[in-house]
Amino acid sequence: MLKSFIEVSPESDFPILNLPYGIFSTQENSNPRVGTRLGDFIIDLAFLDEQKLFDQQYGFFVDTSLNRFMSMGREVWQRIRQRLTELLSEGGDTVWEEAMRMRALIPAGDVQMHLPVVIGDYTDFYASREHATNVGIMFRGKENALMPNWLHLPVGYHGRASSVVLSGTDVIRPRGQVAVKGSPPEFISSRQLDFELEMGFFIGTGNPLSEPISIENAHEHIFGMVLLNDWSARDIQAWEYQPLGPFLAKNFATSISPWVVTMDALEPFRVQGPHQDPAPLPYLKSDSPSGYDITLEVTLQSAAMDDAQTISCSNMKHLYWSMEQMLAHHTVTGCNMRTGDLCGTGTISGKIEDSFGSLLELTWRGEKPIQLPGGEERKFLQDGDTVVMKGYCQGDGYRVGFGEVTGKIFPAK
């Protein structure tokens, strides 16, 4: 197995087989710039570029976002990944001296991470059959759990890009209209604040207006993935979604992890997705494996707890609709995607109760509260609660991971 010239634990999310991209700064150099992560170190790619260690000087590693790098396309992405592998591998290219290596490697604890991408548009899908079925049963009964269109197309809605925030950003409890059955609406702080366990993917190269992205070529346009928590105010949503769907219940915060894991790093973990019946229409049909075996975990820690408690374990391979299908459907009308656009998968739930990806499902709309240490219980999130999501692909003696996305709930203003 390929090894790096620095020791990396088999349990680390960031071996040389990963090499994700993010934006960081340090106390010594406050300018945000592009880096990759290897074990417990950040590699300063702007410094490597300045030292002419790539096949050419690219210039975009000094940028405060990944957008210009992402816009260059798959050939450049793969060329840079290959060169980094040569430079960082054990016994690899020795063109850079020890002193240069020391300058390029920065302990992860010494950096501040920043939002990795300037996000132009954000679209959230609803691609988990298990999640859609659970929610449908709660609100419409078993006979009408899935809406008539759900098995024919990846359902989605346009979200709010301006409130996509980096992991660690405080989440302020939203206020809005809430209507209890039979009563007029009130303007209150949400009592049913929830998380949603999702993955997000970034568009690297877009498409011109009126020219759809085909299902065969969709993978060429996806740069990489992050963990995504689409915080949701369920009581606000229940009143406002009739008939147009999520609005204020989802627009106050969406948290993402700081490291963008590339599709090349995830390629060894591609798996066949669930069987789709009825067969999708031709523009959505693909015979290639399009699922990803990504283990996902959610922990919850209240203000009174000393340690976090795991409340959900799921996997991205459960998704009924693939990222390629989401992208092909999104653009089939001729909608033009742009570099930096973010798409969310929607809540990723499995078949068993402890694999459900939201409190709405885990507590079955509050009917079965989660028991926490010290006698606490949760139907929905309380002020002071911290939610942490983690994700990784497990290889033979190594893992390719995403780190974590975390958020703490604070009272409404």
- 131, 219, 221, 330: the catalytic one is 131
Asked if residue 223 lies in contact with residue 134, where contact means CB atoms within 8 angstroms, the answer is no
Measured CA to CA, the distance from residue 159 to residue 124 in angstroms comes to 6
- Is residue 165 within 8 A of residue 254, CB to CB? The reply is yes
Mark whether 275 is an active-site residue.
Answer: no
Q: Which residues are marked as active site?
A: 131
